[in-house]
């Protein structure tokens, strides 16, 4: 269906003799995709551009459902970091996925999992450094969430900032490990957001009354008004 929709959108492109410029051109090699229901064999549809242009440029069809080098579904890729954070060691992924997906589960050796964890870390670092100069948040919510990742015997506090745009869309602004009551920890997170381009102060910040967040907010965004969270206020009053 994806290929048919692409061809339908390009139906107006014709060759000088009136024939369609873009046509189906068979399928690529069969490959195995690991999914939540097990291994599935698929063949990617190929589309040919029959036009000959002076610059050699051709229109190419790229599937969003089945990327060129994909070997796992997006849902399965999303499962892997969750299993890692839940304490599955790098050497146990194959056994864990075999229990979930059957004996044909992908071969995730310790080396492969180590490579994936490196990619996840790099992806996180890119996200943390993204430019915020084009963003504006009317409201921000601040909270400290305690997480006990993997097999550690203590919980770490994740400081989280979420913003709401003028259109009402909620977006994560940033997060980092810190001390929930620490002004310094919140100050670092707010300064980082400002350094990445968040120059316009939010109108209102919402948070727990016990946070060191408020003092840090006054230092970084002094014009932002304070509002106590209506959920947590009755609990601690």
pLDDT in tens, 169-223: 999 999 888 877 789 999 999 999 999 999 999 999 998 866 688 999 999 999 9
Separation CA 19–CA 223 (nearest Å): 64
183 inside domain: yes
pLDDT at 149: 56
Please report, for the domain that includes residue 171, its CATH number. Answer: 3.30.420
Number of domains making up the chain: 3
Read off the tokens for 112. 């492969």
18-27, 110-119, 189-198 — which is least confidently predicted? 110-119
Domain span at residue 81 reads: 74-128
Q: DSSP of 146-200, one letter per residue?
A: EE--TT-SS-EEEEEEEEE-TTS-EEEEEEEE--TT-HHHHHHHHHHHHHTT--S
pLDDT at 200: 92
Identify whether the C-beta of residue 212 lies closer than 8 Å to the C-beta of residue 185. yes
Read off the tokens for 149. 């990742």
Does one domain contain both 229 and 208? Answer: yes
4 inside domain: yes
Does one domain contain both 206 and 175? Answer: yes
Identify whether the C-beta of residue 46 lies closer than 8 Å to the C-beta of residue 3. no
How many CA atoms, within 13 angstroms, populate the side-chain half-sphere of residue 23? 9
Identify whether the C-beta of residue 158 lies closer than 8 Å to the C-beta of residue 176. yes
Residue 106 pLDDT grade (very low, low, confident, very high; cuts 50, 70, 90) = low
Does one domain contain both 46 and 80? Answer: no
Instruction: Give the pLDDT mean for 41-58.
Output: 83
Does one domain contain both 23 and 90? Answer: no
pLDDT at 230: 63
Residue that wins the pLDDT comparison between 71 and 161: 161
As to burial, measured by CB atoms within 10 angstroms (0-12 exposed, 13-18 middle, 19+ buried), residue 102 is exposed
Q: Is 205 helix (H, G, I), strand (E, B) or coil?
A: strand
pLDDT at 56: 72
pLDDT at 235: 45
Site of tokens 């410029």: 21
20 inside domain: yes
Instruction: Give the pLDDT mean for 66-71.
Output: 75
33 inside domain: yes
Separation CA 6–CA 49 (nearest Å): 12
Residue 168 pLDDT grade (very low, low, confident, very high; cuts 50, 70, 90) = very high
Does one domain contain both 213 and 149? Answer: yes
Separation CA 108–CA 96 (nearest Å): 10
Does one domain contain both 101 and 172? Answer: no
61-65, 129-133, 167-171 — which is least confidently predicted? 61-65
179 inside domain: yes
pLDDT at 81: 79
134 inside domain: no
Does one domain contain both 40 and 91? Answer: no
């Amino acid at each position: 269906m994806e290929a048919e929709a692409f061809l339908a959108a390009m139906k107006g492109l014709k060759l000088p003799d009136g024939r369609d410029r873009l046509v189906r051109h068979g399928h690529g090699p069969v490959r195995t995709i690991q999914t939540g229901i097990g291994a599935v064999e698929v063949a990617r549809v190929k589309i040919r551009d029959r036009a000959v242009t002076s610059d050699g440029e051709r229109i190419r069809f790229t599937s969003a459902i089945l990327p060129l080098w994909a070997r796992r579904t997006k849902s399965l890729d999303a499962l892997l970091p969750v299993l890692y954070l839940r304490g599955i060691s790098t050497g146990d992924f194959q056994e864990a996925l075999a229990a979930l997906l059957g004996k044909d589960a992908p071969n995730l050796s310790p080396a492969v999992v180590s490579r994936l964890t490196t990619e996840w870390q790099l992806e996180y670092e890119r996200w943390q450094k993204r430019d915020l100069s084009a963003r504006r948040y009317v409201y921000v919510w601040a909270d400290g969430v305690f997480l006990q990742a993997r097999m550690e015997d203590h919980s770490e506090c994740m400081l989280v900032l979420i913003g709401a745009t003028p259109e009402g869309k909620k977006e994560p602004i940033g997060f980092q490990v810190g001390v929930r009551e620490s002004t310094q920890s919140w100050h670092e997170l707010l300064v980082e957001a400002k350094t990445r381009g968040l120059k316009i102060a939010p109108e209102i910040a919402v948070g727990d009354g016990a946070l060191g967040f408020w003092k840090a907010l006054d230092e970084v965004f002094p014009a932002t008004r304070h509002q106590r969270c209506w959920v947590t206020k009755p609990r601690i009053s």
